[in-house]
Chain A
Amino acid sequence: MSIVLTNLTKRFGRVLVVNNVSLSIPEGELFVLLGGSGSGKSTILRMIAGLTEVDSGRIELGGRDVTDLPPQARNVGFVFQNYSIFRHMTVAENVEFGLRIRGAPAAERQQRRDELLELVGLTGLGDRYSNQLSGGQQQRVALARALAYQPEVLLLDEPFGALDVKIRAQLRASLKEIQKRLGITTILVTHDQEEAFELADRIGLIERGSLIEVGTPQDLYYRPQTEYTAVFIGGGNVLVGRNVDNAISLGSVRLPFPEEAPVHEPGAPVRVMFRPETVVVKSSPDQMGQAHVLGRGRVIEQVFTGPARRMRLEIEGLQGVRPLVPPPAYGQLAAHIEALVPGSEAEAISSSAVGELWVGLTDYHVLAPTGPKILICSDGSAVDEAAAFGMRLARAAHGPATLLAVVPASGEVAAARARLESLIEQQGMQGHSQLVASVRQGIAHAEILTETQEGSYEMVVLGRSPDAAGRPLGIGTTGQEILAQARVPVMLVSSGRSTIERILICTAAGEPGKSDVLFGGRLARWTGAFATIFHVHAAGAPAHERTRSEKHLRQAQRSLEMLGVKSECAIGDGEPLRVILEKAEAGDYDLLVIGAPAPRVPQRFVWRDLATQIVAGTQRPVVVVPMQER
């Protein structure tokens, strides 16, 4: 029978244990839920069995909705980590229990019991009690007992967790064989990767209640979609490069994008993952063969593991590349990578030229780019339009977001948290895996800036409350501080729009920017909006300036095309502030994007002025993008 889970959610008190899990397991599959302790994997299994109630979501077994049925009515076989063999019953009585409850005649019970004892390899032990059996044998009894009444699905909760390594291996082999022979749909929960790899047709990786990724063991090992999978499964190397001219740039190394690699925006970070055994270490560059050369390296550390040697290498060419895994040590200059070199080769390397090694890759994989990470700052009002708008944006962009409130005193934390929860509920986003609420205590702008840095957010969404002078469209001191200091785009919202369909990207006057166009393009890509790139010529601008900006606009449009964003160009003449505001009104744009020079650029006041004036001059949401320094 197939197993289908739809938006399964469970909370224990305030803790979200299972977060919106949807999963479909076809008939006959052996599916492994893999995750650390406390990840919620057992809770999912218990919900399927009916041992834990479901908060929301649906469970179907063989097309039958069993969400609200008691465990007795679900016809599942469940095997516990602690065996839970009935101590006062013999092995035979244990196995027959399910049939006895169902009122099966004695002859049938005996026949079935003998079949099952044979199946699990316990023939002749029917008269024993559990205290006369080893742990492995007890678990075999538990398996036989769970299979006796021919359940539709078999659920195993860390079944081999309490057994020693050797017995575990034997039992795994038995389980796999039995499962294949009976063709029973099975879910096994484990924290043991090796077990998951050995048994699973497919693996589902669970982390903090969310199903991170589902795939065959090979998929998860060689072609993980997420960073978490790459890190959790097998020892891996993950380096962050950049997409430069359609190649992955890692320091001075260039790697081509593999064919199956997900599309990356130009200039976007690219996370490259490779397994230690795909790293080739040779004593000269000519021996590299088909491998992609990373460059010269040296061995930092090596461990003999029997068949192979595990090495930690430092590569010259990877200077300045940010490694995610292995995590960099403090003060480390170049990225370190883990390599697994076959014993014979390792011997050859160490005997030849010392310190002069060449490192290459036979295979690597590119992780899917994630959505933007957005920090949404709540202004403390009950109907928080900025927060609501930010959440809608985060949902559209499929990126992680944090809804943040800053309170001056610790006594207000609980109230603020409750308010955030209700804001999330207003948006119908409770239980949304990527949205978390957070309350900090302190001075608003300082806390927001700290959170922005600590959480490495890509954008801050800020509400605009009336300023001291009572002007409804002022920025306020908090907003000013954040605009002046934040290194990431800041979105200022006074009244949110329900959808973002049209974005006006203002390159304004003077030196045309690139980061504002690219960020505006990313916003358009996340939201599926149409972008207008708008440039304003100051009155009486010389002709050569016009041609230059036209060229810039064409380039900008091409960049947006690369991102898959539909766009148009427009040029205005006159005083920038007035022209931009008129354009925004005329086109009824949902969002304005404007570049502002980085704080350290001397002319900041002039520029900041234009940005703030635009913000003050319109009710529409505005994104102020800090220009990257060159």
Chain B
Amino acid sequence: MNDSLPRVRRRSAGSVLPVSLLLLVLLPLLLMPLAAIYIFAGSSGLAGFWEALRQPDAQFALRFSVLIAFATAIINGVLGTFAAYVLSKYRFRGREALLVIVNLPVAIPTVVVGTSLLLLWGPIGLLGRVLDPLGIQPMFMPAGVLLAHLFVTFPYMLGAVKPVLDELEVTYEEAAYTIGANRWQTFRFVILPALRGGLFAGTLLTFAHSLGEFGATVLVSGNLRLRTQTAPLYIFAQFEAGNIETANAVAAVLATLSFVLFLILQRFTQRVVERPS
């Protein structure tokens, strides 16, 4: 009974003004732009929409984006979990500094990330200068795009898994040890299952961010169609060329994909919150 009390109050007549004010602000800010994508995408009819999507460039861009996002999510899923485990369970010199560094990609503008990757791997970069003559050059290649995406999305996995690990009592592991499980068995049967929620959320976040990444990608990919052009780059290129409909069609697909991921994530986190631990 007590729980329902504030809810009743929120529904009272007094809420009409603040709620409508909020909607008024959000309408041009968030809701209308989102709607615009779909309106424009469908402006030349379903046939035009399909036509735009059937173009080889568009197909490639979408497939390439999803592929890169998958690869990023898997690699960063493993790396991020490992980083979270080390940073959560071990106390060592420089741990604080390392914590700041691994979270840094969130704060750095993505264009700066792209630039710095070019300055490292590019033909005149620090490493590139040595590797380029040997025929190793990740920049303007799919590998370069992957590198950029790994960099930019690294903190998401860490952010999702580390809090769960921090919350996990030391005795949880110790219980497994005394029962006879070795380190690997403890990780595999005791820790990993406890991390399920964090792993899922982290992977999904990484995937979503990778799907939409633009700033770093545009610099390291060279924006080469049918080779390194991701969906966001394709949309940008089509806009620049004046093919607004084509751009919009791909944008609508990307937006839908993101919505779905977001909804899954939302549902999932809600379930975690509702389940008492």
* Chain A interfacial positions (CB closer than 8 Å to B): 49-51, 70-72, 74-78, 80, 82, 84, 86-89, 97-98, 101-102, 131, 142, 145-146, 149, 155
* Chain B interfacial positions (CB closer than 8 Å to A): 169, 171-172, 174-182, 185, 189-190, 193-194, 196, 275-277
For B175, list chain A residues within 8 Å (CB). Answer: 78, 80, 84, 86, 142, 145
In the complex, the answer to whether B177 meets A131 with C-beta atoms within 8 Å is no
Measured in the bound complex, the distance between the Cα atoms of B185 and A77 in whole Å is: 18
In the complex, the answer to whether A78 meets B178 with C-beta atoms within 8 Å is yes
For A82, list chain B residues within 8 Å (CB). Answer: 169, 171
In the complex, the answer to whether B174 meets A78 with C-beta atoms within 8 Å is yes
For A89, list chain B residues within 8 Å (CB). Answer: 193
Contact of B172 among A71, A84, A102, A146 (CB under 8 A): A84
Measured in the bound complex, the distance between the Cα atoms of B52 and A200 in whole Å is: 81
- The 20 sampled A-B contact pairs (Cβ below 8 Å) are A51-B177, A71-B174, A71-B177, A72-B177, A72-B182, A75-B180, A77-B178, A78-B175, A80-B175, A82-B169, A84-B172, A84-B174, A84-B175, A86-B175, A86-B176, A101-B179, A101-B181, A101-B185, A145-B175, A146-B179
CB distance from B185 to the nearest CB of A (A): 6
Measured in the bound complex, the distance between the Cα atoms of B191 and A84 in whole Å is: 12
Contact of B277 among A75, A87, A102 (CB under 8 A): A87
Measured in the bound complex, the distance between the Cα atoms of B171 and A407 in whole Å is: 45
For A101, list chain B residues within 8 Å (CB). Answer: 179-181, 185, 189
Contact of A131 among B176, B185, B194, B276 (CB under 8 A): B276
In the complex, the answer to whether A86 meets B177 with C-beta atoms within 8 Å is no
In the complex, the answer to whether B179 meets A51 with C-beta atoms within 8 Å is no
A145-B177 contact, Cβ under 8 Å, with A84-B169, A87-B194, A131-B276: no
Measured in the bound complex, the distance between the Cα atoms of B261 and A205 in whole Å is: 59
A80-B171 contact, Cβ under 8 Å, with A75-B180, A131-B276: yes
> In chain B, what residue has the closest Cβ to A71?
B177
In the complex, the answer to whether A49 meets B178 with C-beta atoms within 8 Å is yes
Contacts A80-B174, A97-B176, A155-B178 known; 10 new A-B pairs at CB < 8 A? A49-B178, A50-B178, A71-B177, A72-B177, A86-B194, A88-B196, A98-B179, A101-B185, A102-B180, A146-B179
For A155, list chain B residues within 8 Å (CB). Answer: 178
In the complex, the answer to whether B277 meets A146 with C-beta atoms within 8 Å is no
For B276, list chain A residues within 8 Å (CB). Answer: 131
Measured in the bound complex, the distance between the Cα atoms of B171 and A49 in whole Å is: 12
For A98, list chain B residues within 8 Å (CB). Answer: 179-180
Measured in the bound complex, the distance between the Cα atoms of B174 and A142 in whole Å is: 13
For B179, list chain A residues within 8 Å (CB). Answer: 97-98, 101, 145-146, 149
Measured in the bound complex, the distance between the Cα atoms of B277 and A97 in whole Å is: 20
In the complex, the answer to whether A86 meets B190 with C-beta atoms within 8 Å is yes
CB distance from A570 to the nearest CB of B (A): 66
In the complex, the answer to whether A88 meets B193 with C-beta atoms within 8 Å is yes
Contact of B171 among A76, A84, A131 (CB under 8 A): A84
Contact of B177 among A70, A88, A146 (CB under 8 A): A70
CB distance from A426 to the nearest CB of B (A): 33
CB distance from A50 to the nearest CB of B (A): 8
CB distance from B72 to the nearest CB of A (A): 27
CB distance from B197 to the nearest CB of A (A): 10
In the complex, the answer to whether A71 meets B178 with C-beta atoms within 8 Å is yes
> In chain A, what residue has the closest Cβ to B181?
A101
> In chain B, what residue has the closest Cβ to A88?
B193
Measured in the bound complex, the distance between the Cα atoms of B235 and A102 in whole Å is: 57
Measured in the bound complex, the distance between the Cα atoms of B178 and A101 in whole Å is: 11
For B169, list chain A residues within 8 Å (CB). Answer: 82, 84
For A149, list chain B residues within 8 Å (CB). Answer: 179-180
CB distance from B259 to the nearest CB of A (A): 30
For A72, list chain B residues within 8 Å (CB). Answer: 177-178, 180-182
> In chain A, what residue has the closest Cβ to B190?
A86
Measured in the bound complex, the distance between the Cα atoms of B175 and A409 in whole Å is: 50
CB distance from B196 to the nearest CB of A (A): 7
Measured in the bound complex, the distance between the Cα atoms of B174 and A74 in whole Å is: 13
For A49, list chain B residues within 8 Å (CB). Answer: 174, 178
In the complex, the answer to whether A51 meets B178 with C-beta atoms within 8 Å is yes
CB distance from B97 to the nearest CB of A (A): 23
For B196, list chain A residues within 8 Å (CB). Answer: 88
For A131, list chain B residues within 8 Å (CB). Answer: 275-277
> In chain A, what residue has the closest Cβ to B179?
A98
> In chain A, what residue has the closest Cβ to B182?
A72
For B176, list chain A residues within 8 Å (CB). Answer: 86, 97
In the complex, the answer to whether B178 meets A97 with C-beta atoms within 8 Å is no
CB distance from A428 to the nearest CB of B (A): 33
Query: 6 closest pairs, A vs B, by CB?
Result: A78-B178, A88-B193, A71-B177, A84-B175, A98-B179, A84-B171
